[in-house]
Amino acid sequence: MFTLDADERAIGDTARQFADEFLAPNALEWDEHKHFPVDVLRKAGPVGFGGIYAREDVGGSALRRLDAVRIFEQLSTGCPAVAAYISIHNMAAWMIDAYGTEQQRHRWVPGMASMELLGSYALTEPGVGSDAAALSTKAVRDGDEYVLTGAKQFISGAGANDVYVMMVRTGGDGPRGISALIVPADTPGLTVGPNERKMGWNAQPTRQVVLDEARVPVANLLGAEGEGFSIAMNGLNGGRLNIAACSLGGAQAALDKTIGYLAERHAFGKPLARNEALQFELADMRTELEAARTLLWRAAAALDADAPDKVELCAMAKRFATDAGFEVANKALQLHGGYGYLHEYGLEKIVRDLRVHQILEGTNEIMRVVVARSLTGAA
């Protein structure tokens, strides 16, 4: 797992080259102007980043979760916000590939793998965050259609995407009443709210999705009625790993910037990099990232192997890596002094982007609950 072969190195190198060529040179401008770079996302598809772990017969790359976290770490060195959207898109594509009928797979996944079609994951609702099983968006069957009424909140890519994998309530209260639907973005009755004004992640839109008697064919049901919550949680296992990897990539970029800055910057007659106290800071930052990376790879391997402890390991890795990534980026900003606070140096953008990783895909408090329940057996 820890010694990469030639193919594994090539996968990481390809992702880093994409980040260096297409993401890093534009990241600050996209952030400043709140620009969603759809044209660049289209370029990611032919490289294999639109369906990283979707099957090959529908255009996917059929890679492992272990490969995926290495890809997302490298992409995030260029722009964590864009890399995180690609992760969300992949989660939606995988859910259709994993749980869809052959007709659904061949209808949607090839376009998503090429990124000609952009996908989003729609679970969260206004007033229903961590308690996802309490969602209230209703899907009432009417002949060969479901009639959807409700709203989804904090949906990445909304307004610029083509398809949602949406969790809706087709039955009674609780998780067993939830189903998963493929909802085209152009469905009549589906509208989106204004782009949210956010602390970070400005290079991808975040909007509310409103459903007012929107009609979706019953043929768009993923799996069976009542299986949506399980599908959603299985999707989140991989999403948590990917967002952890995005934190590592952003933090690694911040650390790399800091090493260069301290080597060039002089104070009290010598380069700052020769200051032992600052060297200790760098050593701790490097250690934290390596520890997080090791746990992340361990969790990804467990998910690939369908190991019994995969859920808790994904939760551990998400919590640890997103906390470590933010702390390293924040220290990097501090070590740049006043320059770290300036937009042009890129540190403050990384800090803003990584902060939300501790909240989404399940807050880090919820990750602790997941791990604690696995230890104690508490419901």
Annotated active-site positions, please? 361
Largest CA distance in the chain: 79
Q: Determine phi and psi for 332, rounding to 5 degrees.
A: -60, -40
DSSP labels, 113-177: HHTSS-EEEE--BTTBSS-GGG---EEEEETTEEEEEEEEEEEETTTT-SEEEEEEE-SSSSGGG
Quick one: tokens of 316? 């551990």
Length of the chain: 379
Quick one: tokens of 362? 């399940």
Q: Which of 272, 141, 115, 324 lies closest to 216, judged by CA?
A: 141
Quote the radius of gyration of the chain (alpha carbons, Å). Answer: 21
Q: Are 146 and 219 in contact (CB under 8 A)?
A: no
3-state secondary structure of 346: coil
Q: What is the DSSP letter of 248?
A: H
39 CB-near residues (< 8 Å, 6+ apart):
none
What's CA 308's distance to the chain center, in Å? 23
On the CB side of 243, CA atoms within 13 Å amount to: 32
Element (H, E) at 347: helix 347-355
Q: Which of 40, 90, 88, 84 lies closest to 62, judged by CA?
A: 90
Q: Are 197 and 206 in contact (CB under 8 A)?
A: no
Q: What is the DSSP letter of 344?
A: G
Q: Please, which residues bridge with residue 191 across strands? A: 210
Q: CA dist 183 to 55, 140, 190, 326, Å?
A: 21, 14, 9, 34
177 CB-near residues (< 8 Å, 6+ apart):
169, 170, 171, 226
